[in-house]
Amino acid sequence: MYDSAPIDDQLAIRLARICGADGVISDPQELRTYECDGLTAHRSCPGVVVLPQSAEQVAAVVRECVARRIPFVARGSGTGLSGGALPRADGVLIVTSKMRSIIAIDPVSRRAIVEPGVTNLAVSKAAEPYGLFYAPDPSSQVVCSVGGNVAENSGGAHCLKHGFTVHHITGLQIVTPEGELTWLGDGTTTAPGYDLVGAFTGSEGTLGIATKIIVKLTPIPEAVTTLLAAFTTMGAGGAAVSAIIGSGILPGAIEMMDALAIEAAEAAVQCRYPEGAGAVLIVELDGPASDVEAQTAMVRAICTAEGAYEIRAARDAAERAAIWTGRKSAFAAVGRISPAYIVQDGVVPRTALPRVLDRISELSAEHGIRVANVFHAGDGNLHPLVLFDDSAPGEQEAAEKLSGMILDLCIEHGGSITGEHGVGVDKSRYMPRMFGADDLDTMQLLRCAFDPRSLCNPGKVFPTPRLCGEVPGVRRAPHPLVASGLIDQF
Amino acid sequence: MAGSVPAELSSACADVAAVGPTDAVGGKQAQYVAAPASTAEAAALLRAAAGLGLAVVPRGSGSRLDWGQAPTSCDLIVDTRRMDQVLEHAAGDQVVAVQAGIRLDELAKVLATAEQRLALDAPSSSDGVSGTVGGLIATGAAGPLRYRYGSPRDLLIGITVVRADGTVAKSGGKVVKNVAGYDIGKLFAGSLGTLGLITEATFRLHPLPEATVWVMLDCPDSATAASAVRAIADSPVVPSAIELSWASATAPISVSALIEGDADSVAGRTDRLRELLDRATAGQSSARTKRADDRPGPHTLAGGGAADEAFRVLRPLSDGREPTGTLVRVAFWPGQLTAVLTAIRAAADAAGLDPAIGGSAGAGVLEVSVRAEAAVEAVADFVAVLRAGLDGLSDGLPPSRASAVVLCAPAAVRDSVDMWGRVPSLALMRAVKDQFDPEHRMAPGRFAGGI
């Protein structure tokens, strides 16, 4: 029923007419550059790649795909960690990296209008002269694109206090999966009608492609203090976190790393965290100067009371960056101490953190698989890094199994399978552990409203797609989308 | 007209009755009122209603039941009053899960015992009836705290809904960081009951501040008021709210900032802000402070005086009685405050009106209240001229940067005025409605574009 047209020279010619000759990539060697995003375990070579330079070009490409019933996938900077931008061999990969213009900054309204390929950090850099910054700050912010951030509803270390991407998006121009250009919202906080901006943000590229993004900018806080505290055990570090939050302080960021993660970071970037630390805590406090001063004193006192044996405070921007270097490099850094790894993104209620970390440690010992822990302690978002040797038979499967057990642990404690990386292809098979069939069916009503033809990033997020207009019920034949090869079913 | 309740409904729900005199929506008398006590009972009820082809309108405390256009039909009102429990208050995690029928003021009391709050302060009705959590989500109602904390959709982390066909669905969860699946909660926020019934919601909480102070000043004109708003927004004191109150064209404009936190912190920041404001307005107006008498909660407008009176009159009404005036919500880019105030007054002059204006100027949301005595044609003119004026504020990117939505109005005005105005992506909204409620039985006609 999907009679997709093939990806052939004819299509490439039509795409070149839309995007220009150097806006289309068909050469097999070059296509391989795009075969995965930040999740390298899943690879698939795209049928053809286009690099449009405008919203109109994106819309025209999508209309071409619709006319030929060809599925399409959008990709920003390709840093995603759930395979959301994993391309399809039978599809078009629409890469937004040439759309990187910051169209306008309105400092009085605290808005900026940017194209999807603009990097996250570039927005903050452009806003800085006005005393403003763009608050959501994923660790990959030097490279990751705002369009990708919108798709994933990206978080970052500072989102406990400052919110996630969805709290900072006030309007979107999108290309719908039918190939039309339309605006969702209008840059105000309260546009009339349904909150389609809120529904689109975090929809992982399945409801259309954002081509202009109106972001909210935030005043740069008057003062920032960054503290690094070293503890001999994770338990002590966790107790300090609870006490800090319990005191009523809302830190700008509060991060934790365990001994293994510290070892990796040291090997990679020589961050020189205190020796012998079982856990380090990075706490950032921001706000009015007098408040920050008072809170810093309180946090120091709390850390000391919980047994911190060394506390460092950054005295300038360079020292602040130095403290963060270890944390921000952590994922890549484990590559120094292990040939391969799986990074998870589970969330548990903050008060469950100590139990969950203990249990992860038990599981790691039971299965003989090392797990390094890096996490946003303030909001219970864990990033267990499950280490394995991909050249040793059976280790990858064992590591994946342990990863799954960790996600189950998160769900058991009332948490989530993903706090910020998204579901993509990586975790779609876990969705039924978190949501019932009716929950997933209801979410997919939204998908059917936007993408009735199932051409827009199909096969992502939901393990079993819903045919739009179908009545749920007992199936006897293979799902038509499986039969046509458009998706795999787990 | 009271008839007997169909067996399908009474076997699905223990509390169903034929209607009383106050069981109407937008002047449309319903036939039945049902009050399920749980999500499961609500699901059975909606399934039964679907079987009978009934048009359904959810109702919380009724304080904002008159928002939106009048529905084209209303057979069954689903009242959430029996779903009023706190399900789980995880104080250590700063999260609370509630049934949708719990009233905001009741919830505030529970949370205050743990020194916490839900940072939503939408006003109660003029006779002191607070909205329900479900109603607040469905109407998107907010108060001064929206400047710092946003509207209900920004604090909502999980939701359970019942669709028109009786299917129960949840999205989100109990943790603040969660991107698994689509966010149905955001979709339902502001949807006025047209996508389904909200039965449970989970929110992110904040600590209850120890001290709260309003810093207020009166400005002689809109330019001064706008620079005061800007000075407050640009200051390092991190206010929780920036409000504006303008009773009439000849009255001064009151600008207020809410400072919250520890006692010491508030004292220091308040002094700083007052100095800053005196400098920013070049001594034209002098800032005074007022300590908020109660703990922060559903707020009255700061400023006092005639504007407050106007809004007190137009405060939501309990029992869904007819509105006593017209309330228009203007949303705009905060930097265009002066132009927006000018556009509102110009449109009012053109229509021969002198409405009160007030709201979260810092966040780009103001409400305009036109008293009931105004002639229908005058109100219609006002809205049309205002919308034309707001259209002029955009340079094309995006196509519109401001909107004027008539939130509620007396029947004669509702019948003559397009309450919603131009809505971006209406076609997509219709597609969403068609998927969630293919038979168009959930509050039909109440929403934008006749949805």
Partners of residue B186 in chain A, C-beta under 8 Å: 166, 195, 198-199
Q: Among residues B33, B60, B81, which one ends one of the domains?
A: B81
pLDDT of residue A476: 45
B35 assigned to some structural domain: yes
Same domain membership, residue B67 and residue B90 = no
Selecting from A222, A351, A420 the residue whose C-beta is nearest the C-beta of B179 gives: A420
pLDDT of residue A143: 95
Same domain membership, residue B310 and residue B283 = no
Ranges of each domain in chain A: 9-95, 102-219, 222-336, 338-424, 428-483
The angle formed by the CA atoms of residues B6, B12 and B15, to the nearest 5 degrees, is 80
The CATH class that applies to domain A9-95 reads alpha beta
pLDDT tens digits, chain A, 490 residues: what are they? 356 788 899 999 999 999 999 999 999 999 999 999 998 889 999 999 999 999 999 999 999 999 999 999 999 999 999 999 999 999 999 999 999 999 999 999 999 999 999 999 999 999 999 999 999 999 899 999 999 999 999 999 999 899 999 999 999 999 999 999 999 999 999 999 999 999 999 999 999 999 999 999 999 999 999 999 999 999 899 899 989 998 999 999 999 999 999 999 999 999 999 999 999 999 999 999 999 999 999 999 999 999 999 999 998 999 999 999 999 888 888 888 998 999 999 999 998 988 899 999 999 999 999 999 999 999 999 999 999 998 999 999 999 999 999 999 999 999 999 999 999 999 999 999 999 999 999 999 999 999 999 999 999 999 988 878 654 444 444 555 665 555 555 4
Partners of residue A195 in chain B, C-beta under 8 Å: 153, 186-187, 189-190
Same domain membership, residue B246 and residue B326 = no
Same domain membership, residue B201 and residue B132 = yes
Q: Among residues B291, B318, B345, which one ends one of the domains?
A: B291
Same domain membership, residue B143 and residue B57 = no
> Do the domains A338-424 and A222-336 match in fold?
yes
B265 assigned to some structural domain: yes
pLDDT of residue A86: 97
**Tally of structural domains, chain B:** 4
pLDDT of residue B324: 82
Record: contact A446-B171, CB cut-off 8 A: no
Q: Among residues B259, B291, B323, which one ends one of the domains?
A: B291
Record: contact B115-A187, CB cut-off 8 A: no
User: B364 by DSSP, 3-state: which?
Assistant: coil
Same domain membership, residue B322 and residue B225 = no
Residue pair B217/B109 in contact by the 8 Å Cβ criterion: no
Mutation pick from B46, B69, B175 vs chain A, by most beta carbons of A within 10 Å, is: B175
Q: Tell me what ipTM this predicted complex has.
A: 0.95
pLDDT of residue A445: 97
B392 assigned to some structural domain: yes
- Cα–Cα distance measured from residue B23 to residue B32, given in angstroms and rounded to the nearest whole number: 8
Using CA atoms of B316, B317, B319, B322 in order, give the dihedral in degrees to the nearest 10: -110
- Which ranges constitute the DSSP H helices of A185-280? 196-200, 234-246, 259-269
Omega within 30 of 0 (cis) for the link into A136: no
pLDDT of residue B320: 64
Residue with token string 């150097």: A22
Query: Does domain A222-336 sit in CATH 3.30.70.2190?
Result: yes
Same domain membership, residue B195 and residue B244 = no
pLDDT of residue B296: 31
User: Which residues of chain B fall below pLDDT 70?
Assistant: 1-3, 283-287, 289-314, 317-320
B10 assigned to some structural domain: no
β-strands B56-59, B32-34 pairing: unpaired
Same domain membership, residue B221 and residue B148 = no
A359-395 b/e (C-beta count within 10 Å ≥ 16 → b): bbeebbeeeebbbbbbbbbbbbbbbbbbbbeeeeeeb
pLDDT of residue B305: 54
Instruction: State the amino acid at position B337 in one-letter form.
Output: L
B253 assigned to some structural domain: yes
- Tell me the two tokens of residue A3: 């009679």
Give the structural domain span for B272. Answer: 211-291
pLDDT of residue A1: 39
Same domain membership, residue B201 and residue B189 = yes
Record: contact B180-A423, CB cut-off 8 A: yes
Selecting from A189, A214, A423 the residue whose C-beta is nearest the C-beta of B398 gives: A214
Q: How far is A85 from chain B (nearest CA, A)?
A: 16
What CATH number corresponds to the domain at position B41?
3.30.43.10
Same domain membership, residue B127 and residue B115 = yes
Selecting from A184, A443, A445 the residue whose C-beta is nearest the C-beta of B181 gives: A443
Same domain membership, residue B200 and residue B245 = no
Residue pair B205/B169 in contact by the 8 Å Cβ criterion: no
Choose which CATH entry (3.30.465.10, 3.20.20.70, 1.10.520.10, 3.40.190.10) describes domain A102-219.
3.30.465.10
Q: Is A108 left (phi over 0), alpha (psi -120 to 50) or beta?
A: alpha
Record: contact B163-A442, CB cut-off 8 A: yes
Same domain membership, residue B192 and residue B91 = yes
Selecting from A111, A188, A421 the residue whose C-beta is nearest the C-beta of B331 gives: A188
Domain at A338-424: CATH code: 3.30.70.2740
